[in-house]
Structure 1
Amino acid sequence: MHTKIAIIGAGPSGLLLGQLLQRAGIDNVIIERQSAEHVLGRIRAGVLEQGTVDLLREAGVGARMDREGLPHDGFDLAFDGRLAHIDLPPLTGGKRVMIYGQTEVTRDLMQARAAAAAPTFYSASDVAVHGLKSGKPYVTFSHAGQPVRLDCELIAGCDGYHGVSRRSIPEGVLKTFERVYPFGWLGVLADTPPVNPELVYASHERGFALCSLRSPTRTRYYIQVGNEERVEDWSDERFWAELKRRLPAPVAARLVTGPSIEKSIAPLRSFVVEPMQYGELFLVGDAAHIVPPTGAKGLNLAASDVSTLFNILRKVYGEGRRDLLQRYSAVCLKRVWKAERFSWWMTSLLHRFPDTDAFSQRMQQAELDYFVGSPAGRQSIAENYVGLPYEPIE
């Protein structure tokens, strides 16, 4: 079997890249070690930057998002018992964000790929990449009990932090930058009406909290917990009581509780590898970088990688510009590090660290007060939140 682009991973980044390539007439095959049902079952972020929304529309998969998604023109920061609203469009030249769950993005992309009859191998095992600097790379895997060899020209590693792509790069090639935070997010998904029309990010002496939503009837709430905490120790009643303590009284009074339909703890880390390419292998999304979810950048940063790689490949196959392939990592990393900075800053600003003393707490409060009270501070938060412009490829 032969294709131009082999895509490892059928999460949203791999599917989005495949969809864009398919529409541009560039052959591609997607290989995924999990089943399609497992991929669809992942509960992930739901805040889409303006650039991600535009890219999904460009890929021809934005119709349901535009019908069912919830455009948001701002969000609230809660601290000192009060709410401070960040109004996005006036501060960003009209940009906003869209609330539309990653599961729904994945579903739309899966349906589009199935409609195009584009080749996708789910439940593939023993996936391995070969010949990454040979000029003739290939991927081997097993599917339905049969060995498969896929010859290709380039490989896109869209298989996440634990995937085979990054681990296939020889030791010593990549430089790793990482910070592991001493806490995680305990998240609850519930079929309850949102406590607020827009997201609320709360800084409290007991720890961070986030009030998010997926639809007018489905909510996603988070509270900061220590890394030693276990999900089974948190009953629904305990979770709701703790969330209320961390919200300003007027917001807490509006909170509608109910049984959780999903509950999990996600550890927080910042992680980047450089470079994001090796020979004919290009790392995309979580395979190359992880951000703490505080800045709502994970899926969005993967989308910007996809945009960069797609626009390079379009010029490679449309204009013969193979020289641009060497630009991929440098272009992506410019935006990656800016998004990492914003996510680190939001995390540092809103959470309680184990070593936070009285002075550090006052500094957090003063910085929050300065940024929300300053037009320049509000603009800085807003332009990062809606997403910085995509970097040009040349």
Structure 2
Amino acid sequence: MNPLRSTLLKSTRVNPRALVASGSILGATSRIGGIRAAGMRGYSTEAPKKGGSGGLVFLTLAALGAGAGYYYNSTQTIKTKTLSTPTTGKTEKKKNIDYQQVYNDIAEMLDENSDYDDGSYGPVLVRLAWHASGTYDKDTKTGGSNGATMRFAPESKHAANNGLAIARDLMEKIHAKYPEISYGDLWTLAGVCAVQELGGPTIPWRAGREDAFETSCTPDGRLPDAGKKADHIRDVFYRMGFNDQEIVALAGAHALGRCHPERSGFEGPWQEAPTVFSNEYFKAISTRKWVKKDLKNGGWQWVDKNNTDVMMLPAEIAMYNDKEFKKYFDLYAKDEDKFFKDFAAVFQKLLELGVPFKGDEKVYHFKRTTE
């Protein structure tokens, strides 16, 4: 075993990026084994640290806490203070941006604060990219990552975007260094970086998003509700142009992060290694015994009968109980390589919804910082 890998596997606080070996989107099982074991060890031996009050501490967001994950809005969400200062106007486009260097700079920020929750900013950056993109409506051709309208109210204050001001502020440090990059390109690139650096597949990415004004903000309610059933999930994702298999593949991003009650109304991670991108989410939902747990806020969630720290959202179990969705959950639980391949394609699709590409844009396959 590589000495660095051996040392990190013995550590209780793990830098997940240090364990990610190079490789393509295939061969995921062998590549992810060490990082998953280390991530689970870190989770089991050290509880997430608590933050201060007033919404000023980044770690109180949880990796996914505000809005109950990338995937769902929550009717239980608690509104919080918006921290970032809205920017106005459009970013002046310039040529010859070194996007690999932008990627590298983002990667260096992911674990700069080891006291943050489970030890990585990565999951909340995936969520930022997700929520910036998941507002797309294929019929009206509105929403999506083009425009980056979450910089402005009212979109920045939508309940589903609670806490994302801190993720946006984190990216301001990068934008200050690269002012020519659009916010839409920056946020989506950050999501790609986070997935890859936390052990996930290589996500093809293209630049070309243009910043818009607040008049282009999308209406509230376009993101899915964590408390509803499978038909609601279909309605939301069919509106964007996804099919059932793509919907389930996107749900696999919940391998990352956790929910916090003060942000979303829900509490806990989806699996025991919440800073490791893997198919553990699918294994968990398909093999564990899930029981209902009443929450102090009057809501409820599902928890693992044998480890009540691990949870699932009501909408997720509803999806698993839907026979058309279930077959894809079971497929990805058995085949991580298939999940990685499908996720790479559908996450790229999500990030490109509504982007006015000209057709000649370079497709980037970013090198991980460990390559």
Q: Structure 1 length as normaliser, TM-score?
A: 0.25
Q: Structure 2 length as normaliser, TM-score?
A: 0.26
If each structure's strand is expressed as a fraction of its own residues, which one has the higher value? 1
